[in-house]
Structure 1
Amino acid sequence: MAHIKSRKHTVARALPSRLSQTTAALALMAMPAAVFAQQAGPAATDTLPAVKVKAAVENDYKAEKSSSPKFTQPLVDTPQTITVIKKEILLQQGATTLSEALRNTPGITFQMGENGNTQTGDSIFMRGFDTQQSIFVDGIRDVGSVSRDTFNLEQIEVVKGPAGADIGRGSPTGYINLSTKVPTLVDAASGSVTIGSGSKKRVTGDFNTSVPALGDGTAVRLNVMKEDSGKVERDYVKNESWAFAPSLALGLNTPTRTYLYYLHVEQDNIPDGGMTVFGMPGYRLSNDQQTALTAAGVGSVAAPSRSNFYGLASDYDRVKVDMFTARIEHDLKPGVTVRNISRFGRTEQKYVLTGVNAVNVGNSTSSTNATTGVVTVTPAPAGVSASDPSTWIVARSRQGKNQENQILTNQTSLNADITAWGLKHSIVSGIEFMQEKQSALGFSTSGTNTPANLYNPDRNASFATVNPSGARTTGQTTTAAVYAFDTLKINEAFQVNGGLRFEKYKTTYDNVAAAQTVESLGKVGDLVTWKLGALWKPATNGSVYIAYGTSQKPPGSDSGTLSSSTTSANNPNVDPSEASNIEIGTKWDLLDNRLAVTAALYRATNKNDVVAQDTVTNEVIALGEKRVDGIELSAAGMITNEWQLSTGLALMETEITSTNNALQQGGELPWSPKLAFTSWTTYKLPYGVLVGGGARYQKSALRSSNNTVFTSAGLSRMPSYWVFDAMASYDVTKNVSVQLNVYNLADKFYFQSMNSGGSRATIGAPRSATLTANVKF
């Protein structure tokens, strides 16, 4: 598991010193800027020839390669959409969680939960599909549905498109890899102290030093983090966490390098169960609510205060993470390296939170039995009057979780650059063994779920208690895989990339009911996934490519959970879902290779992710097809030595092309905005001043695929929004700087995430600010 943390907050650092002379670019695709040089002066009586000197300026936004050894070529020569978010841009933005970091790539949305449950952790949708179980740390699958902190990350890599050949089972639209900080031979120390809106308090430190006494090439590093923060305009919500990550490196700058590192995180939060969306822009009253309000002469309703907390004083969310990693690299000879990485990780999460459900405005509630058609009417609750808004109530539910996830893995790979029959090959091959376990205890509630007053909720109200029920589940997936990749350079202008992965998996699942009856399920299978690409380089700094890739997701992929339900994708009797992606794109390093510009056109298809039972044979089968067509544009890097930019634009058209549900045939995929845009830019002024800002836009997104007019209460779509942020920093000395970040400058009301029923949401932070003091040596 990776580091965890909750929502929005800040950290910062100073940018590298500027050059004395620069040239501004007029537009993103401007011609390369001229490079100015200094001229050496004469020595004594001799006149020396002029020497042009190009000063190196750190490029905080543009990455040259992926951290994964499976990608052997620079990003500009890799035929796939890969966005690398470096730690420097996160520090400028004050992005401290993975969810905040992912705002730097377009087309990613977040879901709050479904079926009455509130989702915790990084619930990520990418290109229309759930990607929560496709998060990796240093190329190893991360376990647990928790929120991850960025304090120990070097960079975040977002790989889009089916990537089964890279990672095995997973999301049909890609994965996210978190690259961990490790020791170097450069002695350095830095720290930040942040205060801000919402009672935010955060401290981080990063300390690296070489240790010659332990041998040449030895270094140690320690990253630490402590946070104690509220949430802006959200009463009682608290984010409290601390973490440390020590690491040791041996043999740096030698043929054999060893890295040993450990991560420990603890979190003790008061969770945010969300807000009811009643009365908010776009909210639709149910027929029962409208009838009652019309009869009472009430023409409009007001939304409750965004600060209202509908949880209880006893709500909590506690997480503990431990991760041990050992990595060894050995250069057999120039161009040939063998690597081995082993990891044991464990994530424990225990929480009790109060979820928000339907609002009652003094209305009766009618429901129809789907089988018999009988309509049942429940009268309005006592004491609730449609004519008196102060009596309106919102139903609440108690939810609990006590879950532990473990992963144990060993992976070995070989990278070799060879020449055969006059052709250059960059070959990667490897073998992986992995065991994942998940165990969870069941809960039951006793007592009454007391509704909350809609406009004046009481967190101390008596409420049903959550108790262990005696039920428990245990799931385990064991995987063995082999893979091979090759980048074949035909000549300087043409290359072909290919990859193939074969893996064998076994999943077992035991579901023990409260009555101690046991349901045992299992699934054994093989997966074969592959990718193929062709790339043409019309110039040394650019490429044009076409690529095709596949992925598969078998039952039990989500932490070893299987189900006997005849409509569940985790039913062990069904075949894996299958995804494919074809992509045509181009990549260019412009402005003297300082600015990376990319464009890609893709079609992603996912099959067999709907499960149904044949009415004749009673066989449980997988069927259905979903399609996503899209365009992505991006740019990242330096326009001048002072001006840096990171921006991206995504357009998507989604469709359910085949299903057994007539209401969804031809519908859009939920959480898939047709247009999304993100941008962040900074400019270095004289006297150590840095200014910057960003903008994010997301078009509205459906929360359900049904092709019907919504008649239930709530929102049918997550509304579109623009959000603008800004920052400024000042170098007090060469070692000390201060940074101010202001978020949501226009104080825009928007939804950060929403549940699938459209009744509750997490509200984006209003206008807020943080102030950070940074020290570095």
Structure 2
Amino acid sequence: MAHIRSRKHPAPSHLLALMAAAMPVAVHAQEAEKTLPAMTVTADVDVPFKAEKSANTKFTQPLLDTPQTVQVIKKEILQEQGAATLMEALRNTPGITMQLGENGNTAAGDAFSMRGFSTEGATFVDGIRDLGAVTRDVFNVEQVEVVKGPAGSDIGRGSQSGYINLISKLPQAGDINSASVAVGTDEYKRITADLNKQVGDNLAFRLNVMGQDADVAGRDYVHNRSFGVAPSLAWGLNSPTRFYLFSQHVRQDNVPDGGIPTVGMPGFYNAIDEVRGAPKVDRENFYGNHRDYEKVDADMVTAKVEHDFGGGTVLRNVTRYGRTKMDRRLTGINAITAANPADPSSWVVAQTRQGIDRLNEIAANQTSLNMEFNTGAITHTLVTGLEFMYERQRDDNFCTTKGGTRNNCLTAQTLVAPTINLYAPNPAVELSELQKTGAYTDGNTTTAALYAFDTLKLSERWMLSGGVRFERYRTSTESATVTAAGALVQNDNLRVSDNLFSWKLGAVYKPATNGSIYAAYAKSLTPPGSASFALSSSASSANGTDMKAQETVNMELGTKWELLDKRLNVSSAIYRTENENQVSLVDAVTNTYAQQGKTRVDGIELSAVGQLTNFWQVSAGVARMWTKQLSQYGTAGVQSSGVRWAPDLTATLWSSYTLGDFTLGGGVRYVSEQKRVVTDGTNLATENMPKIPSYWVTDLMAAYKVSKNLNLRLNVYNLFDKEYISTLNNSGARATLGAPRTAILSANFQF
């Protein structure tokens, strides 16, 4: 729970005694001089939800004067909401939606899109790309920064719609300790601790830990368990040279969820009349198997050195190694078979077995220099940097439908196309354990990049800012496949390398010290293999070695204002984003593809973050998008003009009010319908689940400050128990529903 903190402290007893002894002297002084000079007492204002600056050193100005849409989600709002994961944190910004996956496959870890484009490969921690199929926890996160619009100059390749940057908690001066214990419905149990200890003048140690064990609300058998620890050391806190050594280690042991059949839901279609009109399945039904599991090991170690030369000049170097390992077996579902349409109890649904054995690695070194200087009457705030990075992803392949070893994976000797009862699934059914075939895909990208950002203060009213990034990258993919006879074939290695040049330019006009009006233009590039480093020899694949990089251009016009004595930030922006060089079928007869496709997204965003009064906090945002594909044709030569999973309207609101020791708060989220079928001329009446219907969700919070050391908080999620589809797979056969009404009671300690 957030409070206004005063810098005033009660006077100690020895100070009171000294004041009493000095009173006679004060009396004589008053007699000598009856009139005392006027004195003004000021105190720093702490606005819990509102951030003044980004922690990203590539931003040269405060957020108010940054010509781009940047939202900072601070830890105070995450604490009020009881948010535990990155996806829960991102509910505080509009324009972001979650993804499920393709047919039998379910996306692993954080999978989402932003402003109409997939963004799952653009998650960063402290400015360094974070790889791995992991559901990210925020126990070690100071704040989440959402940067919208193409950002190639910031982060390099693959940044059509922006990126997410998580800022880690680091040691600081003083002893600041807190802990939280939470219990809730669905066997929810979570404990976190944040311990910061200063040792001497310059040394500090910080330890963040997390443990969670919970069922998934509204689901049978589905269970999540995780543990995390993040130790960190800092030397030289009060000196010009500071050194930080910090790491984070997360272990997850989950039962994955492939969702439920969409039968009976609005929009469901089946050629059989009886199935088309059948009732829904029980939302708690588990269509997986008792052998399903998901184990994730995620580790990263970071060393950071920074030195102040004075006069605003700071040199930094950051080195990181990260490794994430996912081992997963999931049983999903697909088509319904009704051999006897008159007997629903005999209907079955096909099961699909999915195996993931994935290794992600990253090694990075970044050196940057921040400077402030003048050239004549122009003030510069300059950032230059050099980055070296190695990224890798290896996936081992499995027999996904028949089980067995490589030699019999493609034969009829083993289990084929398992099914399970539609309305009474039995997870105890024995299925063949998935076996590795020996086939694999192992790709990596090495990058060397130079960048520079500068803001030129031309006058008190005008600023010009820009950024450029030049990078040389090389992507290499090794792979092996299995023939129909069971032979392992080593494929030719695929390689591609190129130079990329990304840039952005912005102009800021300040009609007042508390406001700005800006215009910005940016260009980014997405070369083949950007996301998974898996190049392809296919002429129809965007990852083909002969493909050019996709180009993304963004134009944005906006304004930002600090109101109510700088307690409230309001902003608005209109933008257009165009991504071209997308692969499209140009001749269905000859099966010829070309990079002529383009996606255009026009939008407007409004936001307000901060305080309305000393006791009333608010964070609100609304985004309206118009998405369209141009010259994009599918396998049948039919044009697709819409963009999947891109809602026209999204909105989010969270507000809380403190009255004495009580704080009441709540929020609502709205997502308009999301289209699955976007092909022109399609008869939606004969398409299964052509869209995800729109939905509202309401949450509530109440907190009580028992003492200065203890705070109790109750969070109720989905207050009105709204049933809604959270994600839908690409075929429309299965869906995951949003969590029903749940509650969590937390005890938060300060010591």
Same fold per superposition (TM over 0.5): yes
Offset, 1:705: 2.1
Quick check: 1:568–1:611 contact (8 Å CA) kept in 2? no
Instruction: Choose the corresponding residue for 2:219, options 223, 229, 234.
Output: 234
Does structure 2 conserve the Cα–Cα contact (< 8 Å) formed by 1:111 and 1:756? no
1:316 matches 2:290: no
Distance (whole Å) between structure 1 residues aligned to residue 587 and residue 451 of structure 2? 37
Report the TM-score when normalising by structure 2: 0.92
Distance 1:760 1:666, change over 3 A: closer
Q: Which amino acid aligns with 1:651?
A: R
Cα distance in structure 1, aligned partners of 2:40 and 2:722: 50
CA distance in 2, matches of 1:435, 1:613: 36
Q: How far off is 1:252 after superposition?
A: 0.9
- 2:119 maps to 131
The answer to whether residue 100 in structure 2 is matched with residue 112 in structure 1 is yes
The 5-angstrom pairing of residues 424-573 of structure 1 reads 424-444=379-399, 445-446=402-403, 447-514=415-482, 515-519=487-491, 520-573=493-546
CA distance, structure 2, for counterparts of residue 703 and residue 64 of structure 1: 39
- The aligned amino acid for 2:225 is E
2:138 aligned with 1:150, yes or no?
A: yes
Which residue of the partner structure matches residue 25 of structure 1?
none
1:596 to 545, 562, 569: 569
Letter in 1 for 2:655: T
Q: 1:654 to 1:142 in 2, by over 3 A?
A: same
Q: What is the match of residue 607 of structure 1?
A: 580
- Structure 1: distance between partners of 2:441 and 2:567: 52
Alpha carbons 1:349, 1:401 under 8 Å: kept? yes
Residue type at the aligned position of 2:524: S
3-state SS in 2 of match to 1:100: helix
Q: Which residue pairs with 1:649 in the alignment?
A: 622
Amino acid at match of 2:268: R
- Do the aligned residues in 2 keep the contact of 1:427 with 1:486 (CA within 8 Å)? yes
The aligned residue for residue 721 of structure 1 is: 695
Which among 209, 222, 247 is matched to residue 224 of structure 1?
Answer: 209
User: In structure 2, how many angstroms separate the alpha carbons of the residues matched to 1:766 and 1:434?
Assistant: 43
How much has 1:80 moved relative to structure 2?
Answer: 0.1
> How much has 1:620 moved relative to structure 2?
6.0
- 1: CA distance, partners of 2:669 / 2:729: 21
Aligned to 1:691: 664
- Distance in 2 (CA, whole Å) between partners of 1:337 and 1:105 is 32
Indicate if the aligned counterparts of 2:263 and 2:281 stay in contact, CA closer than 8 A: yes
* C-alpha distance in structure 2 between counterparts of 1:299 and 1:323, whole Å: 50
Q: 1:664 to 1:173 in 2, by over 3 A?
A: farther
Q: CA deviation at 1:193?
A: 0.6
1:622 deviation in Å? 2.1
Greater shift in the superposed pair: 613-622 or 191-200: 613-622
- The superposition leaves residues 200-249 of structure 1 with CA deviations (integer Å, 9 ceiling, x where unpaired) of 0000000001111xxx3210100000011001120010110101000001
Instruction: Confirm or deny that 1:341 pairs with 2:318.
Output: yes
Structure 1 residues 769, 618: CA separation in 2 closer, same or farther (over 3 Å shift)?
closer
1:624-676 deviation per Cα after TM superposition (whole angstroms, max 9, x unaligned): 11100000000100111100000000000001122234876462211111111
SS at match of 1:311: coil
Quote the offset at 1:769 in angstroms.
Answer: 0.4
- Alignment of 1:266 with 2:265, yes or no, is no
Secondary structure of 1:463's aligned partner:
coil
Percent of aligned pairs with the same residue? 50
Note if contact 2:2-2:76 (Cα within 8 Å) is conserved in structure 1: no
Provide the secondary structure at the position in 2 that maps to 1:165.
Answer: helix
Equivalent residue, structure 2, for 1:376: none
Partner SS state of residue 707, structure 2? coil
For residues 170-209 of structure 1, the aligned pairs below 5 Å read 170-209=158-197
Structure 1 pair 554/133, CA: closer, same or farther in 2 (3 Å)? same
- Is this contact kept in 2: 1:278–1:714, CA < 8 A? no
Q: Report the Cα offset of residue 618 of structure 1.
A: 8.8
Distance (Å, rounded) in 2 between the aligned partners of 1:279 and 1:164: 44
Give how far 1:712 is off.
Answer: 5.5
Q: After alignment, is 646-655 or 117-126 more displaced?
A: 117-126
Q: State the Cα distance separating 1:703 from its structure 2 match.
A: 1.6
The whole-number CA distance in structure 2 between the counterparts of 1:299 and 1:464 is 32
Equivalent residue number for residue 760 of structure 1: 734
Which residue, out of 341, 351, 355, partners 1:400? 355
- Which residue is equivalent to 2:679? 706
Whether the aligned pair in 2 keeps the contact of 1:436 and 1:559 (CA below 8 Å) is no
Tell me what 2:71 maps to.
Answer: 83
Residue 412 of structure 2 corresponds to none
Aligned length: 711
Contact 1:14/1:731, CA 8 A, preserved across alignment: no
Give the Cα separation in 2 of the matches to 1:553 and 1:451: 41
Distance 1:453 1:590 in 2: 59
d(CA) in 2 for partners of 1:451, 1:616 = 37
Separation in 1, partners of 2:150, 2:311:
32
* Contact 1:19/1:641 (8 A) holds in 2: no
Match of 1:630 among 597, 603, 608: 603
Match of 1:236, SS? coil
SS class of match (2:560):
strand
Which structure has more relative contact order (CA 8 Å, sep 6+)? It is 1
User: CA 1:263–1:489 in structure 2 vs 1: closer, same or farther (change >3 Å)?
Assistant: same
- For the 8 Å contact 1:137–1:178, the answer to whether it is kept is yes
Q: Deviations over 1:728-774 (max 9, x none)?
A: 11011110111000011111111221111122111101111000011
- Mapped pair 1:286 → 2:270: yes
* Preserved contact between residue 587 and residue 637 of structure 2 (Cα < 8 Å): no
Show structure 2 runs of 5+ residues with no match.
Answer: 9-22, 404-414
Instruction: Note the aligned Cα RMSD (angstroms).
Output: 2.0
Deviation track 1:305-343 (CA, whole Å, cap 9, x = no partner) reads 111110011100000011000011111232111111000
After superposition, the C-alpha distances for 1:422-450 in whole angstroms (9 at most, x for unaligned) are 21001111110000111121111422443
In the alignment, the residues of structure 1 paired with residue 176 and residue 638 of structure 2 have an alpha-carbon distance, to the nearest angstrom, of 56
Which residue number corresponds to residue 366 of structure 1? none
Q: Which amino acid aligns with 1:106?
A: P
Q: In structure 2, the residue corresponding to 1:465 is in which secondary structure? A: coil
Deviates more, 1:722-731 or 1:556-565: 556-565
Q: Shift in Å at residue 171 of structure 1?
A: 2.8
User: Following TM superposition, by how much is the alpha carbon of 1:180 offset from its aligned partner in structure 2, in angstroms?
Assistant: 0.5
3-state secondary structure, aligned to 1:390? helix
Q: 1:18 to 1:395 in 2, by over 3 A?
A: farther
Q: CA deviation at 1:17?
A: 5.2
Q: Distance in 1 between matches of 2:708 and 2:276?
A: 62
Conserved? CA contact 2:651–2:669, under 8 Å: yes
1:22-77, Cα deviation, whole Å (9 max, x unpaired):
xxxxxxxxxxxxxxxxxxx9975666455443443421110111111110100000
